[in-house]
Structure 1
Amino acid sequence: MSPAGSALVGLLVAVGAVVVLPLGLRLLGARVVPAPRSAAWPLAGACAVVSLLLPRGALAAALAVPFALASAVLLAAGVRLAARALGGHRGGASPAGPPSTAATVTALVLPAVGASALVAERAGWGLLGFSGTYLALTVPHMLYAGFGAALVAGAVARLAAADRLAVAGAWGVPAGTALVLLGYFVGDAAELVGAVVLTLALWATAAAVVRSAARPGGHPAAARALLVTSAVVVSLAMVLALWWAAGEALGFAHPGLDLMAATHGVANALGFVLCALLGLRLLARDRAAHGGAAPTDHDRTSPRAGARRRPA
């Protein structure tokens, strides 16, 4: 990857760590994440950004540690949510459906993978047989595909629990992301399978959003515009992901890493994840203002018990 490409990846990491991650945690609420509105989350992200500006070495690695610790807190929150959901199923009650819970747990767990890669890359170490560019690219992938996409898919599945496409997306995003990670160790063919599953899952989530937005009334215009924009962007951006993964696995021409960062990376980070989270935030505020939602065991976007559920 060229210096310009590396700089762009660093910029995407900065937006993800300082803006996207804290915004997503606010959507989840205090029953899922400790102190989701605390300034500690963006501050930990800012430390990671500063570490990227320094030469590799002990100081750069040390500055990445606060972000790793914050990710460890999220990992623990994900484990707690999964345990609570399993306990609820055994007891016959579940405040949120299994697909939504699976996606949310994925969103909470995977930033720790990216943070571990960041510490290792900044220190100049290898990690599980990977180093350099592989580790550097793992960080934004875990912030946007691991955290952002899974969080969005889970939120859409909660808000449109009767929509089979939304449910399929919430199951598929964790599965696709796990397969892509497995492909790092197994080979390009497995990574291609993961890319296909992840793409189909995100297309399903996007279709559920567009189908809901086409229904008259129900949501603020700004929220609808942001969510539809995110759906259109991810539908196009994932074509590039398929092209790249298929080219790597099957040996035909495909975009290089610099072009993928400038197109697929920017589109997914800003056009999909950021727009979707902002749209969901506006929906949450609208529901709170009209008494249509209250915080639950899962997040602030879930409908209040007994209230009529609107599709996403």
Structure 2
Amino acid sequence: MSGRIASPSKRTIFPTLRFRAKIILGFAAVLVISAGSMAFSYFGFERVSAGVGSYRSSVSEADLARNIDRELLAYRSAVKYFVVTGKEDDAKAALDTEASLKNAIDQAVKSAKSPARKESLDKLAKEFSNFSATFAKVLQAKRDSTLLVQNQLQRQANLLKYKLDDVGNNASDSEAQAIEFGTKQVNAQFQTASAAATNFVLTSDQAIATSALARLKFVENSLGAVYSMDEKIVAGLKDAKTILGAYREALEKLIANAKLVDELVTEMSGSAGAILQGATAMKADLVAEQQRLDLESEATIGKTEQLVLMLAIGGTLLGAVLAFLLGT
């Protein structure tokens, strides 16, 4: 009789539970364990999902930083090429690449998530504004130089040649030989100076510019040495001196513009370097962030796996204990 009576300790654990209630209690325990496992899995997945989202955003920002690098390289190349050629087609190409770089920077600013990165991009955008403003000055200076060459330098050179020919043709018989010799000498010296000036227009070499100005001084001295008693010849020589002065003035303006362009190009190099440095720093920061997010995701996955495994083992043990207790 005593063999069929349950232990008092076991009886006091579930004193009033019937068999049906024991089944319900066990099922509820299983549900609680399952819910706990799913909750841990869900929150772990959410953390991993958030990490993946941040990683994708970081990759997207890194792509935009690379776009800035690429567009900046294209812009600098186009600007340098225009500075050398001065052609309007090359100016248009440079302005097109400028618009592309501005678009790349604007997209990066809009996509920036962290305040620090947004601040660095704002500084980068400011440097770009300085760069583009400086290039606008370069563009204006080059266009002014082109107009000077077309409307002043070439025009004055042709006028001087015609004026010297006119002076020689109008000389009297008594002065013809001396006037012709003098005007030919002036013309020959001017052709040499004009060739140096043309070479400077093509190369913007300041040494060539100095040589051209020195040769123009020789032309001026030779022109002043031409002497005549004829008032008509004297007036013609005076006109020639005026034309030569206008030619020299146009060349000096070209030289000043070339110096200005050199200074502006140096200034642009500083702005471009700042833009490149900012983009490089942003890429390095994004790469570091991607590595951090990768490590955090791996750590979260590992912790979630451990928690789920521990919960499964604990649930199994708890289920076994409950099954034993409820069964008795």
TM normalised by structure 2 equals: 0.29
Bigger proportion of residues as helix: 2
Higher relative contact order (CA 8 A, sep 6+): 2
With structure 1 as the length reference, what TM-score do the two structures score? 0.30
